[in-house]
Amino acid sequence: MRASTPPSASAADPVETVVRRLSVPAGTELARSLLRGVGADAMERHGAFSAALGAVRAVSRRLDVDVPEVCAAAAELGIDPRDALAAERKLEAELSPPGDRDDVERLSSRITAYAVLLDALENGVSPDDLSASVDDTAEFDAAAVSDHLGRLKADKAMAQLGFRLYDIARDDDESDAE
């Protein structure tokens, strides 16, 4: 079932159109990466705007932001909500599940603690003078804390997005950098 062409079909970037028309707060680049990575079939079968809406909804759920309601969004975009849902299901079928919410929250807490520690180290405060709960603060210097903080952020992103979407986004970032 191919979606009818919406009035804004001349737009070069369907994700940008969806995000702008629905005032979606976050995840634009991630939704683009999702479509570039695994969205060809969804776009072919259900139309670019249906696939873009499906990608935006899937990414919004993973980022834990408001997910556009499919019928209202489809009406705003001039597409069939059944196509949007079918495209979304097709995209979701390509993804691995996100990590457990408790793991994401635990990683968020650790990121906060290490960010406080890094800020303190960069401003000459002794780790012993902090109330932040991090492992063996006496052994850390600013470079080591910064490296560890980067790994924690990557771990959180992978847990929040699921491995496959994280991998798609990382590959997309690497190809953009070349």
Higher-confidence position of 133 and 4 = 133
**CB half-sphere exposure, 39, CA atoms < 13 A:** 30
| DSSP designation for 23 | T
Specify the pLDDT at position 7. Answer: 42
Confidence of residue 12 (pLDDT cuts 50, 70, 90): confident
Burial 11-50 (b: 16+ CB within 10 A, else e): beebbebbbebbebeebbebbbbbbbbbbeebbebbbbbb
Q: Is the pLDDT of residue 87 over 90?
A: yes
27-80 pLDDT, tens digit each = 999 999 999 999 999 999 999 999 999 999 999 999 989 999 999 999 999 999
> Using CA atoms, how far apart are residues 50 and 52, in angstroms rounded to an integer?
5
Specify the pLDDT at position 58. Answer: 96
> Using CA atoms, how far apart are residues 145 and 154, in angstroms rounded to an integer?
14
Please name which of 96, 88, 99 lies closest in space to residue 60, comparing C-alpha atoms.
88
Q: Is the pLDDT of residue 178 over 70?
A: no
Rg, the chain, Cα only:
20
What are the residue boundaries of the structural domains of the chain, listed by start?
A: 14-93, 101-161
Residue 75 CB partners (closer than 8 Å, separation 6+): 81
Name the least confident of 3-7, 29-33, 41-45, 126-130: 3-7
Q: Quick one: average pLDDT of 150-172?
A: 92
Q: Quick one: average pLDDT of 148-162?
A: 94
Q: What is the crossing angle of helices 142-161 and 48-63, to 10°?
A: 130
Phi–psi pair at 41, nearest 5 degrees: -65, -40
**CB half-sphere exposure, 158, CA atoms < 13 A:** 9
Residues 43 and 9 sit within 8 Å (Cβ to Cβ): no
Confidence of residue 2 (pLDDT cuts 50, 70, 90): very low
Query: CA 35 → CA 14, 32, 69, 139, distances in Å?
Result: 10, 5, 20, 44
Specify the pLDDT at position 70. Answer: 96
Range from 85-89, 111-115, 159-163, 173-177 that averages highest in pLDDT: 85-89
Confidence of residue 124 (pLDDT cuts 50, 70, 90): confident
Specify the pLDDT at position 176. Answer: 66
